[in-house]
Amino acid sequence: MSIQNLASYDPFADTGDDPGLSSKQAGVEAGVADGGAKKKAPQDRYIHIRIQQRNGRKTLTTLQGLPKEYDPKKLIKAFKKEFACNGTVVDDEESGQVIQLQGDQRQKISVFLADEVGIPKQEIKVHGF
């Protein structure tokens, strides 16, 4: 009998990023044309909701890949009021603006985005344990 909950978990492992690819190969797979114009990769249209373990039982929920037409500050305000948690917007070089919320809010965020905001459930990917 083995203990399943003590296994290590990488929340970014299931995003499809392959660290073994060179930058040229990754550019070709992402759809970079010969002229340098970058096509949007299929996974870029998804909104990713992840959970990260902090110290002890504390967790942090991150939301990234939100389309530009949605204001993250207004969403944070609605999340904080609806879920009774603290949150912030962090600017990341690779991911753009990332919303961070305290606690495990993954399911609540996905339901809120689908029902209140009107984002299709097919575009929301929930990662985590």
Q: pLDDT, tens digit, for every residue of 60-108?
A: 999 999 988 999 999 999 999 999 999 999 998 888 899 999 999 999 9
Element (H, E) at 100: strand 96-102
> Which pLDDT score is estimated for 45?
81
Which of the following CATH numbers is that of domain 46-126: 3.30.780.10, 3.30.200.20, 3.20.20.100, 3.30.70.1520? 3.30.780.10
List the structure tokens of 71: 């204001």
Going from N- to C-terminal start, the domains of the chain cover 13-43, 46-126
47-53, strands of its sheet edge to edge: 87-92, 96-102, 59-64, 47-53, 124-126
Is the pTM of the predicted complex or chain greater than 0.75? Answer: no
Nearest to 101 by CA among 65, 69, 54, 67: 54
SS3 42: helix
pLDDT per residue as tens digits for the range 26-57? 444 444 444 444 444 444 689 999 999 999 99
